[in-house]
């Protein structure tokens, strides 16, 4: 195919030319989001004109040192046609030149990115074929389009028009807690320090990372019968710097509700125990927010004797770590809680061209692009994703990375004598819980996503 016009790219003493037919626009380099498990030649993701594209380094594909991302002369070329899902990072843009056929010498080298030499003034311009150049990337053969992860696509409501709630049950009734006031969830099977003179619903004090927290049985607070079980959980809620533990029967879900489906009640409604109701399909879910939490703090803070707090501490010296337990294909694994940023419902993801096969796609969380790494593929586990799956968002080397899991089971404090070291490619420890009756493999995220891949 005859080339009519080229854009000249400078790289030190070398000059390269790209057909302007393949170039959409030239832009200054936008913010780069590094991509885990990226193949050689790919620098990461970036946003151009509202679209997320793969940033490809021209120098790396030509077996040279990578383009200096911070140099003021560096430019990003957004591309057309088959290359529109990518953008080319180049060292310097020089000029566009109309081609004179007499000065063009086409080469006959199979699979060579340099397909011609053009004589321009006193320079020789090496003409690059983007098709051959991009073929050097060990890419995943996909269409850059939205895919479904087993969940029916719903109309997405703008986040500012919706609130997010943790839904839990008590005596078969559903309740909601605004997620903004939830700090963590822990197992209810924990020791309490009794508080003399406290009301019946106060279970006692616990220590969570050396912080004293009062725990009340929310079921008793609402007048429900209590039934202890392995699904019982304690919600650690906070408001204005104060924390309180709320014992509930079971965690049901985490969901977004648009404002029109959230109805607030008067301040006197049910002795200030309910803030309002959520209209969820054909049912109503009672919920509470900061006013209800404030009432709980005011009622129960009088039971804490500030002068004797030190005597009430539960000895937690042997608790060396805290983990979040999840399931993959029915088997339990764990991440260190410190690495986990949040847990969300599974979302539709978008595949990105030129990414490793272990990258399921990318999702958008509050304007931040988060890549989804497949633990199933990494561990060679058969996967059939459904709408009940969750995504655990982790902090990895200053990046946020998501992992799809079957479900999240618990957040547990682990004692030193419950940990057995494991010499494995992906796992650091085996957790022997419940006196060794429950074995959980603790994953090392740095091994799952090694530094060389970031």
Percentage of residues in the chain having pLDDT higher than 70: 87
Q: What is the pLDDT of residue 386?
A: 82
Q: Same domain for 256 and 293? A: yes
Give the chain's radius of gyration (CA, Å). 28
Q: How far apart are CA 234 and CA 245, in angstroms?
A: 6
On the question of pLDDT at 16 being above 90, the answer is yes
Average pLDDT, rounded, for the chain = 82
Phi-psi region of 94 (alpha: psi -120 to 50; beta: other; left: phi over 0): alpha
* Boundary of a domain, candidates 312, 330, 358: 312
Rounded to two decimals, the pTM is 0.52
Q: What is the pLDDT of residue 338?
A: 85
Q: Same domain for 132 and 274? A: no
Q: Same domain for 328 and 295? A: no
Top pLDDT among 412 and 318 is at 412
Residue 319: pLDDT band with limits 50, 70, 90: low
* Segment 168-187 mean pLDDT: 89
| Residue 22, helix vs strand vs coil | helix
**CATH number where 205 lies:** 2.40.50.180
Residue 445: pLDDT band with limits 50, 70, 90: confident
Cβ 19 vs Cβ 120: under 8 Å: no
* Boundary of a domain, candidates 264, 287, 312: 312
* Segment 345-360 mean pLDDT: 84
Phi-psi region of 425 (alpha: psi -120 to 50; beta: other; left: phi over 0): alpha
On the question of pLDDT at 316 being above 80, the answer is no
Q: What is the pLDDT of residue 312?
A: 40
Whether 154 maps to a domain, the answer reads: no
Residue-number span of the structural domain to which 41 is assigned: 5-139
On the question of pLDDT at 75 being above 90, the answer is yes
Q: Same domain for 290 and 329? A: no
Lowest mean pLDDT among 154-158, 275-279, 399-403, 421-425: 154-158
Q: Same domain for 131 and 183? A: no
Whether 152 maps to a domain, the answer reads: no
On the question of pLDDT at 95 being above 50, the answer is yes
Measured from the Cβ of residue 75, the count of other Cβ atoms closer than 10 Å reads: 20
């Amino acid at each position: 195919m005859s080339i009519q016009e080229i854009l000249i790219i400078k790289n030190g003493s070398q000059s390269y030319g790209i057909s302007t037919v393949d170039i959409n626009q030239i832009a200054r380099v936008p913010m780069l989001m590094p991509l885990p498990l990226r193949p050689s030649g790919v620098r990461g993701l970036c946003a151009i004109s509202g679209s997320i594209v793969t940033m490809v380094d021209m120098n790396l594909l030509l077996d040279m040192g990578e383009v200096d991302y911070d140099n003021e002369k560096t430019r990003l070329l957004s591309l057309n046609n088959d290359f529109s899902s990518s953008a080319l990072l180049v060292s310097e843009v020089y000029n566009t030149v109309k081609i004179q056929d007499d000065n063009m010498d086409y080469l006959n080298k199979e699979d060579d990115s340099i397909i011609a030499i053009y004589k321009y003034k006193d320079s020789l311009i090496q003409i690059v074929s983007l098709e051959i150049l991009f073929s050097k990337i060990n890419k995943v053969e996909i269409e850059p389009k939205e895919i479904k992860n087993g969940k029916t696509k719903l109309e997405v409501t703008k986040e500012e028009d919706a609130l997010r709630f943790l839904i839990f049950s008590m005596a078969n009734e559903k309740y909601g807690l605004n997620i903004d006031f939830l700090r963590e969830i822990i197992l209810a099977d924990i020791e309490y320090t009794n508080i003399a003179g406290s009301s019946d619903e106060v279970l006692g004090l616990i220590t969570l990372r050396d912080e004293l927290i009062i725990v009340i049985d929310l079921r008793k607070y609402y007048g429900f019968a209590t039934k202890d079980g392995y699904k019982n959980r304690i919600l650690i809620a906070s408001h204005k710097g104060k924390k309180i533990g709320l014992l509930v029967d079971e965690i049901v879900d985490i969901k977004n509700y648009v404002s029109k489906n959230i109805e607030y009640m008067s301040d006197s409604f049910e002795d200030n125990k309910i803030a309002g109701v959520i209209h969820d399909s054909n049912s109503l879910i009672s919920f509470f927010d900061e006013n209800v939490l404030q009432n709980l703090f005011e009622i129960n803070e009088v039971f804490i004797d500030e002068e004797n707090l030190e005597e009430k501490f539960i000895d937690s010296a042997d608790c060396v770590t805290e983990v979040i337990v999840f399931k993959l294909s029915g088997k339990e694994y764990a991440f260190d809680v410190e690495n986990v940023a949040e847990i969300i419902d599974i979302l539709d993801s978008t595949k990105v061209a030129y990414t490793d096969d272990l990258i399921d796609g990318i999702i958008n969380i509050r304007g931040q692009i988060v890549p989804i790494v497949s633990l199933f593929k990494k561990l060679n586990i058969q996967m059939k994703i459904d709408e009940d799956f969750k995504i655990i968002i982790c902090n990895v080397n200053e990046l946020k990375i998501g992992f799809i899991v079957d479900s999240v089971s618990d957040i547990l404090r682990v004692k030193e004598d419950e940990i057995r070291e494991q010499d494995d490619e992906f796992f650091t420890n085996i957790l022997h819980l419940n006196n060794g009756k429950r074995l959980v493999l603790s994953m090392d995220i740095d091994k799952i996503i090694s530094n060389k891949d970031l």
